[in-house]
Structure 1
Amino acid sequence: MSTHVPSRRAHPASASDSFPFRRAPLAGIVTALALLASASAGAADSRSVAELEAEIARLQQEIAAKARTGTGTPQAPAAEPAATEGAKALDTVVVRSRHRLERLKDVPISVAVVTGAELTREATADLDGVTKRISNFAWNPGNARTSSLSIRGLGKQSQTDAMDPSVGLNVDGIAYGYNPLSSFDLFDVDTVEVLRGPQGTLFGRNANLGVLKITNKRPTFNPEAEYSVGFGQGQRLTAQGAVGGAIVDDVLAWRGSFRVDRGAGYVKNVEKGYLESTFGNSDRVAGRVQFLLTPNADFNARLSLEMTPTTGEAFNGKTIYTPTPLTYADGSPNNLNTDASTRLGRRWFGQLPGYSYAGSYLYGGGSRNTVNLDHQTPTYTDTKGGLLEMNWNVADHTLTSLTAYKDFRFQVRNDEGTPFDITKRGGGHVDKFSQFSQELRIASKVGGLVDYLGGLHFQSISNRYDSNAGFGSDAGAWFASASQYNLLDASGTGRYLMENALNELVVSPLQKIESKSLAVFGQANWHVTDPLTITTGARLTREDRRNTTSRLIIQDGYGASLNPVSINGVQLGGFNSNATSGALLAGNSAAQLALADLTASRYFGVASYSALSADQLRQIANAKALRRSNIGVLWNETEAESIKKVHPTLLLSPRYKVNDDLTTYFSAQYGEKAGIAQITNGEHNNAKPERTSSFEVGFKSTLLNKSLVLNANLYHTKIRDYQQAVQVFDKYTTELNPANGDQYTSATGNVPKVKAQGLEVDASYSGFRNVLVRFSGAYNDARYEDYPNAAKPVELNNLTAKYLDMSGKTLPGASKFSFSLGAEYRKQVLGDKEFHTSFNTYYASKFNSDNNLSSYGWIDGTARTDIAIGLGKVDKTFDVNLIVKNAFNDTTPLAKTWNTYVPAAPRWVGVVFTGKL
């Protein structure tokens, strides 16, 4: 857990923020901060946060009035030295975990915090850096569309576009309904909070397992200008800044911020067409502008507009290939019929000088950090959005309106791993994801017998997604079976047929996803006695979900005459012939017979199909079979069964303050995540809602004269109908080959029972002079309790079983142990200068990186350490940091299969300059 005190500058109120906004000189802000920090430290001052805010507001008004009349500024209480404030940071951190400003020590849930100042100083702007400082929380990077968030080992499985994330993403009070929106840079951040455990009462349908809550810095009436510039290995350049202040004194303020990040990646693509392209590169630009309107003491409004224009980063493609095992798990031989070693050994692929399976394809070309891809492109993404927040203070209540819009676009072209023209124009494409939301909240003043917060929330989401399968001129020779290849490669005409069978063919599934939700929610804190508070909450969410899908040929390419007559009712215009001999079958129309004659003339120069020899007919039959198998299943536009259902969320959480240094709490929560409307191979296949029950007991304490802050909790979470990829009955394939019995395919469905339980500890210690030590650790046991229909891991593919029972197995991505240990040393030197150094080590025990739990997917336990050393001015006007990430150059792969791995980023060294103007 980070333990740096967040900057508490004046900001627009949340649901319970009650103080007006007034222009104040810097001394006034220092005064307010000193009051809040000293009172939150907790010894003698037991005032509520609301009372503190009121005091801050009074001081701000007094300061503003005296500044206008020239009578001076009231004296602030003596503040503690900076080192002491930092030492008590964990005890004094203020969070918005329940839509209110509250001290972290008073929030009866497991919360971890990282401050924006820490992220900036250590050149961290993505969620990977956040996860290295918080235990039991993971960001699972795929590409910008397939990444996911997981908490307590749950949620790691790749998300589909029609599926709600299990871990909520909430930015400035807005709940995002799409995982890819977590893949963009963080910049100008105040705090990042991770709320572990279900948070659906206040944060909605996307918070079944927890919430990542990001609060950006907000406008103030004080002139502000701050910057950060970094330089590092790999031609890395980062720059970010923020500027703002009053436009109209006491009425209108603004804040503008931006970030730029560019640099090379750590895996190089040596294919000549992309000579300088690298994977894991940085190419990001983002900006945000905000306006704060405070016409009177009872109303304020904030408008925020942001944009990340289209940029390209190469995520997909940094896979390094290793030799495929020669045997399956039971010792049976693996014939390698479809392996790259077999395919690249064909004559067709031996014509490229200097390229070989052993010397070029394996182990990154021998250097372990290069690939050779001809059709891979960067992942192109962009997003923009806007937020209007309005707050009214009315009769001891705060009314809040949050109106927001957010969109996202995505485009990538993937490659199969070679420089040959095989995979072409294939990859995912989000034409446009858009989200509109409106929330209305009412919050009472804090205190009395009960304080409460409630409201209405509406969200509408639209997504247009397709994922092309495209083929090039070498695809036929790559995908042909051994018998098909041998027959077609035997002659020039056969090779022509093999090339045209797939060349320029593009097949595309399309999804049109629509969802609407309307929720009513409320949460109340019942102050039964001075030490005992009971929190109750409920939410009812009405879901309306629709999904219209199709899978069709959108480009026939060169082999249109080799099309089947139809697939699954989709007419393709081919002629009907025997699949083995190639002879024409009865029932062909005149147009089909003419097409057969045209095919014979094109490839063999004969006048009619009947003039073909038996060998020539077999070549056409093999080319048609090759095309048919790679087209796969098709279906016309079909609307999945719509989902219309009300989902409840319930919360009960008593909190007991034993004394000023110890608070205990218990929570019981139940929540549901909506089902998924979807089509699988043309058939309706909706997934059921996910139902989560979670129990947590914990304490928050300060010990050793407040030098040790220790927070800990035990949790037990059970999920029924956990949503992830499972094996489901495949009606289409079963009917296509009835002699083979029931067939199954992978699709998003439900695992009957999943459980996670464990212990989490967050602590900081300031007993050493000028030193702050912080720790965040967890033991986590996340496993499938009942999982009868799991896909076979690749080393068991030789088994005749259609699926396996994985009950009792640990979930993928779930480490048993994880912790973050960090320390920071600060000492004033050379008058107004400050020397500082810090380190952070993150450890995760072994986990399985393969969603199918392959025995080859285990990743060993690994520790990664980041180090920083710097010198700056005490007033923060200038600071320079030397930063070393992955200081001990840990090379443990990020993921593994039985013949691939994804390499980790190597050690990186850079220098970051920060300051204020």
Structure 2
Amino acid sequence: MAWGNGFGWLGGACALLLSCPGIAQAEQSPAERAPAALVLDEVTVSARHREENARQVPIALDVLDGAQLNDAGIFRIGDMQQRVPSLLVSAPNERYTSYGIRGLGSSSFNDGIDGSVGVFLDGVYLGRQGMSLSDLVDLERVEVLRGPQGTLYGKNTSAGAINISSRAPTFEPEGNAEVSAGEYGLRQYRGTVSGPLVDGVLAGRLTGYDVERDGLVDNVYDGNDLRDQNRQGGRGQLLWTPSDDFSARLIGEYAWQDEHSNVFTTSNRSASTISRTAFLGYRQLPIDPYGRQVRQDEMNTIKTLQTGVTLELNRVLDGGATLTSISGYRDWTYDADQDGDGTALSIAENVSVRLPNHQFSQELRLADSPSEHLDYVVGLYYLRQKLNREVVARFGKDAAGFFLGDRPEIALFGITPEMIPASLLEGAQQTFDGEQLTDSRALFGQATWHATDRLAITPGLRYSRDRKEGWLSRSVSGLAPLGSDLVSQIGGALLRDTALGTEYYRRDALEENNLSGQLAVSYQLRADLLGYVSWARGYKAGGINLDVVGPSVQPTFDAEQVTSIEVGFKSHFWDERATLDIALYQADVDDYQALTNRAPVNEYAPPIRDNLINVGQVRLRGIELDGLLRASERVDLRMGIAWSDARYRDFPNAPCSPSSAKWSCDFEGKRLFNAPEWSVTAGADYRHPLEYGLELFGAMDYSFRSGYYGTLEGGEGSYQPSYALTNLRLGLRRNDRRWEAEVWARNLFDEDYVTAVYAQLAAGDYGVLTGDPRSLGLTLRTRW
């Protein structure tokens, strides 16, 4: 194929790398489509707050069609990364959730941090990353924007944004229902009804789901299964259109979760833990994370409740401009109980966490196209969040013997476990209370000047003001009086101070102002080829370390700032049967906000976990390709490839691996954690017409990620090996899709893989969340 204009290399790449964010399923049977209609369906996006063809947007983005996600059984953002190679979601549970785009992102386990990736649901920013883990059903589409996004959205995001849009009520009656059953006791029910309440004026939509599954991890202590699923939720909507120039959309949401899912299988034990458990005569399970077995004497439970209300108002003004108001209120409560030591010993026998989060946001936007050469959007934004924090750790009868078990004095004086009074720590309780209030205000705007029919220049600016204030306390209660025995008199007070800590209280506040922006230039090189170059400055406010900090960690941390340069091409060819998007980028991050786990400062002190620090400088470089091919009336193909080189450039005080004898290490030149070098997604959809108005269909999805460390310090047991997943679907349906039945296999080849890493009780102790094993099932759907 001749390309001309010096772009022959691009044509060659297109022939090899055919991928794209998604292909819309054809609603007509193949027999009803004429040969001339053998083209890709147009993909529209609202990333810039107006409906436009994705091929004309000078932003690197992936668009996931809601119907496609539903057909593939993808209802949670954690599974969407199988369709978006640049997206990494680490979600062992709602509190520990981490989003990353292009290798940039951080865990939300320290409650004082905001996400580098902003998640927006129907225009409302979700203030806690775990709020987005509810099932996302009845969606219009999901847009994943890569790179800093601040001049278009209310909340500034330094790594990217995920824009989720649910389906609006319709004035034509419609509905759907779906039932799935599978291995491990899987039972899923989902359904939607929509239609007019007052003809032409008021419409409603109601969506609900119920998901249950048995546990995948065997607790050999009591025979119970852990990591089950039990979630229910619903969304109700009203759409009011009293006139052509005004509309109001009211959305109410509810989501409930009650699961025994906060459990990790051991991937490594430190020498200290091995020595301590041996002293107590306790036999640990073999280290086999893929064996899916634990031995714990406390149940791990997570309960989350989320309710939300969104009101969107749109008014077309006399001059043609559109004024949009989006008001959102959300309550989210995380309530968990966890076996704190992960064993059948009674050490930290129970850790309970309660995190109520309340937020209100208001966004006003004005968008207009006053001439054929200019369009713009300007906005005001306000967000108020209140997070309360209560963490209680209770210690049991084995705690004193465990913490003293590796002390050299124990062997020197011939002390046995029976000689260590359990009352030194038994019944003791640590209580961590805290609160954080956040006020964010912003003024943002972006304009596009169409200088010629081919050239468009898009500048944008944002002014942000963030204020945070909070407090944190630690109290210790339940201590019994020290006895008169030798161990109590010599080491009792020291043991309590190191294991439990002393009374602690801290109050902090910070206020920051920032001016950031972006500039993009796009040029229509040919009718089927768009080129663009962009510069963007991203910003994420600093915050308060909502944990007891170590001696080298500050109580507050600085803002994270990203400077990104990107060059991209978007093309369609072969009579619009194929597309290929290519993006090359470099992003320099100053004061990257990261969660750190350090070894003890001395032989008596406990390890330091979950403190937030600023990494001096980080550089992200990479290439991304997304494309799609409609190979025939019956076959669609897609593939996405992302290569990332994410490295520390200035990090002289990094926490060393726990196995190292050093307290501080220099990580300059090392790869970032949670940043795989290679990520690949691919898929094929097949349709075959049958007699009597029936159609046979099938689909295969494939995703691959190379290995990477799941924690900043990179200790043994925190490495996540490379893995590849394959999902398969095969079914029969009416060609108008009134009903369909399919059988499916997820993780077809039963791949063992790790999705998240967690630092446990002692320095060098790690647990991992393993991915789901192969599962088979059946889904029945109907639409009307």
Same fold (TM over 0.5): yes
The secondary structure found in structure 1 opposite 2:105 is coil
Equivalent pair of 1:635/1:682 in contact (CA under 8 Å) = no
The secondary structure found in structure 2 opposite 1:875 is coil
Report what 2:514 is aligned to.
647
Q: Which structure 1 segments of 5+ residues have no match?
A: 8-29, 35-77, 325-335, 351-355, 563-598, 601-615
Equivalent pair of 2:265/2:288 in contact (CA under 8 Å) = no
Q: 1:292 to 1:457 in 2, by over 3 A?
A: same
Distance in 2, Cα, partners of 1:317 & 1:115: 33
Deviations 1:839-896 (A, max 9, x none): 0110112222232123654333221111111111111110111111111111133356
Distance in 1, Cα, partners of 2:331 & 2:610: 29
Q: Residue 758 of structure 1: CA displacement?
A: 0.9
- Give the TM-score normalised by structure 2: 0.90
Aligned pair 1:906/2:779, yes or no? no
- One-letter code of the match for 1:791? P
Distance in 1, Cα, partners of 2:398 & 2:75: 41
- One-letter code of the match for 1:343? R
Q: 1:85 to 1:504 in 2, by over 3 A?
A: farther
- One-letter code of the match for 2:24? V
Deviations 1:521-556 (A, max 9, x none): 111111111111111111101111112111112xx2
Equivalent pair of 2:108/2:129 in contact (CA under 8 Å) = no
Equivalent pair of 1:108/1:655 in contact (CA under 8 Å) = yes
**Residue correspondence of structure 1 range 220-239 to structure 2 within 5 A:** 220-239=170-189
Report what 1:811 is aligned to.
672
Report what 1:820 is aligned to.
681
Q: Residue 86 of structure 1: CA displacement?
A: 8.3
Q: 1:391 to 1:285 in 2, by over 3 A?
A: same
The secondary structure found in structure 2 opposite 1:203 is coil
Q: Residue 620 of structure 1: CA displacement?
A: 3.4
Equivalent pair of 2:430/2:474 in contact (CA under 8 Å) = yes
The secondary structure found in structure 2 opposite 1:345 is helix
| Bigger helix fraction | 1
The secondary structure found in structure 1 opposite 2:69 is helix
Distance in 1, Cα, partners of 2:689 & 2:60: 35
Deviations 1:348-375 (A, max 9, x none): 546xxxxx33xx45437xx922212111
- One-letter code of the match for 1:344? T
Equivalent pair of 1:228/1:239 in contact (CA under 8 Å) = yes
- Give the TM-score normalised by structure 1: 0.78
Distance in 1, Cα, partners of 2:615 & 2:267: 31
The secondary structure found in structure 1 opposite 2:390 is strand
Tell which deviates more after alignment, 128-137 or 900-909: 900-909
Q: Residue 633 of structure 1: CA displacement?
A: 4.2
The secondary structure found in structure 2 opposite 1:768 is coil
- One-letter code of the match for 1:668? W
Distance in 2, Cα, partners of 1:471 & 1:660: 69
Deviations 1:538-577 (A, max 9, x none): 1101111112111112xx23x3324xxxxxxxxxxxxxxx
Aligned match for 1:882, one of 743, 746, 770: 743
- One-letter code of the match for 2:273? D
State the superposition RMSD in angstroms. 2.8
Report what 1:516 is aligned to.
439
Distance in 1, Cα, partners of 2:184 & 2:471: 44
**Residue correspondence of structure 1 range 793-804 to structure 2 within 5 A:** 793-796=657-660, 799=661, 801-804=662-665
Aligned pair 1:703/2:573, yes or no? yes
Q: Residue 747 of structure 1: CA displacement?
A: 2.4
Distance in 1, Cα, partners of 2:361 & 2:765: 44
Report what 1:315 is aligned to.
261
Aligned match for 1:689, one of 553, 556, 559: 559
Equivalent pair of 1:547/1:678 in contact (CA under 8 Å) = no
Equivalent pair of 1:167/1:206 in contact (CA under 8 Å) = no
Equivalent pair of 1:86/1:772 in contact (CA under 8 Å) = no
| Bigger strand fraction | 2
Aligned pair 1:120/2:70, yes or no? yes
**Residue correspondence of structure 1 range 56-455 to structure 2 within 5 A:** 81=33, 88-89=40-41, 92-272=42-222, 275-279=223-227, 281-309=228-256, 311-321=257-267, 336=271, 338-340=272-274, 342-346=275-279, 348-349=280-281, 356-357=283-284, 360=285, 362-363=287-288, 368-395=291-318, 396-415=320-339, 416-430=341-355, 432-445=356-369, 448-455=372-379
Equivalent pair of 1:196/1:210 in contact (CA under 8 Å) = yes
Report what 2:11 is aligned to.
none
Distance in 2, Cα, partners of 1:451 & 1:249: 34
- One-letter code of the match for 2:225? S
Report the count of equivalent residues: 750
Equivalent pair of 1:464/1:512 in contact (CA under 8 Å) = yes
The secondary structure found in structure 2 opposite 1:404 is strand
Aligned match for 2:627, one of 733, 738, 763: 763
The secondary structure found in structure 2 opposite 1:831 is coil
Equivalent pair of 1:123/1:912 in contact (CA under 8 Å) = no
Aligned match for 1:664, one of 531, 534, 544: 531
Larger Cα-atom Rg:
1
Q: Residue 793 of structure 1: CA displacement?
A: 0.6
- One-letter code of the match for 1:378? T
Percent identity, aligned pairs only, is: 29
Q: 1:689 to 1:872 in 2, by over 3 A?
A: same
- RCO higher in 1 or 2 (8 Å CA, sep ≥ 6)? 2
Distance in 1, Cα, partners of 2:534 & 2:149: 11
Deviations 1:801-844 (A, max 9, x none): 32100011111121111110111111221231111111011011
Deviations 1:193-243 (A, max 9, x none): 110111111124442110111101110111111111100000000011001
Q: Residue 485 of structure 1: CA displacement?
A: 5.9
Q: 1:302 to 1:698 in 2, by over 3 A?
A: same
Equivalent pair of 2:726/2:747 in contact (CA under 8 Å) = yes
Equivalent pair of 1:172/1:214 in contact (CA under 8 Å) = yes
Q: 1:267 to 1:536 in 2, by over 3 A?
A: same
Q: 1:407 to 1:79 in 2, by over 3 A?
A: farther
Q: 1:446 to 1:170 in 2, by over 3 A?
A: farther
Distance in 1, Cα, partners of 2:533 & 2:267: 49
Q: 1:867 to 1:729 in 2, by over 3 A?
A: closer
Distance in 1, Cα, partners of 2:198 & 2:189: 29
**Residue correspondence of structure 1 range 7-26 to structure 2 within 5 A:** none
